[in-house]
Amino acid sequence: MDVKVALKQRKSTRAFLEKPVPKALIQRILDSARHAPSGTNTQPWQVAVVTGATKKCLEQQFLAEVEKGAEEKMDYLYYPQDWIEPFKSRRRACGLQMYSTLQIGREDKARQQTQWRANYLAFDAPVALYFFIDPVMKTGSFMDYGMFLQSIMLAAVEEGLATCAQAALGQFPEIVKKELGYQGTTLVCGMALGYEDTQALVNSYRTPREEVESFTHFYN
């Protein structure tokens, strides 16, 4: 597949088929992604591939925390604490686009909560990937990690699979690290992986992207 096609075809998928993903296929995707660049070749990524009973166990623990109103707290600050423009408007527009597509009104808190809880189920994808990094690594290694994650998502597109990179799967890090045996690490994020349910309404929209001219200056 042409790289430009894969870049445009990739999207955040929020509904998946029950069809399982073969282990060999996941290994092939990771085998491609491991060639992502990293500063001084540190290759800071550690990956847990979670399916079946282990995935359900984690999901049950997440939902239990949500139900009792536990604080969601990642191992690091993913988003700014004080939002400014244009990021504030883009964030709001992203959420509104999804809810309007699903015809979930602003006052329909019950359906909003149901849709939000789907995050903790990895949107029912058969596979959830969890990504860890040694706490000694700093900001540059998070940049490296982003290239690794993008490589996974593009390789998945080529294999006919869909993904959704998820900060939400990193919001209860101690549960994940204890269950999977990754104590002493930083949980970067999770990722849903599987076959897209192309009939699901939630997968029917695409978030817009800024034109090149809006974020680029050329200097001679």
**Residue 32: CB atoms within 10 Å:** 16
pLDDT at 49: 98
Q: Residues 121-139: what's their mean pLDDT?
A: 98
Task: Compute the mean pLDDT over every residue in the chain, rounded to the nearest whole number.
Answer: 97
Q: Is the pLDDT of residue 214 over 90?
A: yes
Q: Is the pLDDT of residue 33 over 90?
A: yes
pLDDT at 95: 95
Q: Residues 128-150: what's their mean pLDDT?
A: 98
Q: Is the pLDDT of residue 53 over 90?
A: yes
pLDDT band with cut points at 50, 70 and 90 for residue 22:
very high
Element (H, E) at 49: strand 46-50
Q: What's the N-to-C CA distance of the chain in angstroms?
A: 34
pLDDT at 66: 95
Q: What whole-number percentage of the chain has pLDDT above 90?
A: 97
pLDDT tens per residue across span 77-103: 999 999 999 999 999 999 999 999 999
Q: Which CATH superfamily is domain 3-80+121-206 in?
A: NADH Oxidase (3.40.109.10)
The values of phi and psi at residue 50, to 5°, are -120, 125
User: Over the range 106-134, which residues count as b (16 or more CB within 10 Å of their CB) and which as e?
Assistant: eeeeeebeebeebbbbbbbbbbbbbbbbe
* pTM of the predicted structure, to 2 decimals: 0.96
Q: Half-sphere exposure of 195 toward its Cβ, with a 13 Å CA cutoff?
A: 9
Q: Is the pLDDT of residue 210 over 90?
A: yes
Q: Where are the domains of the chain?
A: 3-80+121-206
Q: Is the pLDDT of residue 26 over 90?
A: yes
3-state secondary structure of 191: strand
pLDDT band with cut points at 50, 70 and 90 for residue 106:
confident
Q: What whole-number percentage of the chain has pLDDT above 70?
A: 100
